[in-house]
Amino acid sequence: MTVSSVWPGLAVLLAVALAFGCDDPLRERTIVALGPEAAGVPPGPLHRAGQPCVVCHDGRSSAREFSVAGTVFVTADAPDPAPGVVVELVDADKRTFRAATNCAGNFFVEPADFAPRYPLFVALEAGRYRIEMDTPVQRDGSCASCHDDRTSRSSAGRVYLFGTPRPMDASGCP
């Protein structure tokens, strides 16, 4: 079999895929693996705390596109959100953008507001307290791509503000 004899078949297959749509199966599996929405939390700025936001908010669906997004928790081992935290982002061009977490601990940045050039340096601020991430973000705007619920070989653990529990006002959250 020669390349020239296979080419017409590949061209037809490509045309059919383009005509009927051809989604990214890895992306689809990743979205399905996120599971259903939490009960009582409708899709919107308060949903899916701690999950990789840019998986769905990547500009390839009807969901708002985010360039950077994530969740900040009060501590590493508790599900308490850290509202009102300022997330400072500094990209390779030394451009700075600051976003605040909402009552669910979520923050998000749209590309029209800030489309960073990697690497991206991150710091968290709450009042006079400031903590900087030890290593830069190299490739992905979803914090949860590297910061899963638990520390493991593939995760640095949750993004958190304090080493010990502190009270934070999450009023206004359902």
Q: How many domains does the chain have?
A: 1
CA distance 66 to 54: 6
Q: What is the pLDDT of residues 99-157, one digit of tens each?
A: 999 999 999 999 999 999 999 999 999 999 999 999 999 988 988 888 887 777 877 88
Rounded alpha-carbon distances, angstroms, from residue 80 to 72, 76, 140: 9, 9, 24
At 171 the pLDDT is 62
- Domain assignment present for residue 70? The answer is yes
**pLDDT over threshold 80, residue 43:** yes
Q: What is the mean pLDDT of the chain?
A: 83
- Domain assignment present for residue 83? The answer is yes
Q: How far apart are the first and last CA of the chain?
A: 63
At 38 the pLDDT is 83
Residue 174: pLDDT band with limits 50, 70, 90: low
CA 47 distance to own-chain centroid: 12
CB contact set of 141 (below 8 Å; sequence gap of 6+): 53, 54, 66, 67, 68, 69, 109, 116, 120
Stated pTM of the model: 0.79
Residue 170: pLDDT band with limits 50, 70, 90: low
Strands (E), the chain: 68-71, 86-90, 96-100, 106-109, 121-126, 129-132, 151-152, 155-156
**pLDDT over threshold 90, residue 63:** no
Percent of residues, the chain, with pLDDT higher than 90: 41
- Domain assignment present for residue 4? The answer is no
- Domain assignment present for residue 11? The answer is no
- Domain assignment present for residue 122? The answer is yes
Residue 86: pLDDT band with limits 50, 70, 90: very high
- Domain assignment present for residue 87? The answer is yes
The 8-class DSSP code of residue 137 comes to B
CB contact set of 31 (below 8 Å; sequence gap of 6+): 55, 56
78 lies in which domain range? 38-156
- Domain assignment present for residue 60? The answer is yes
Beta bridge partners of 108: 69
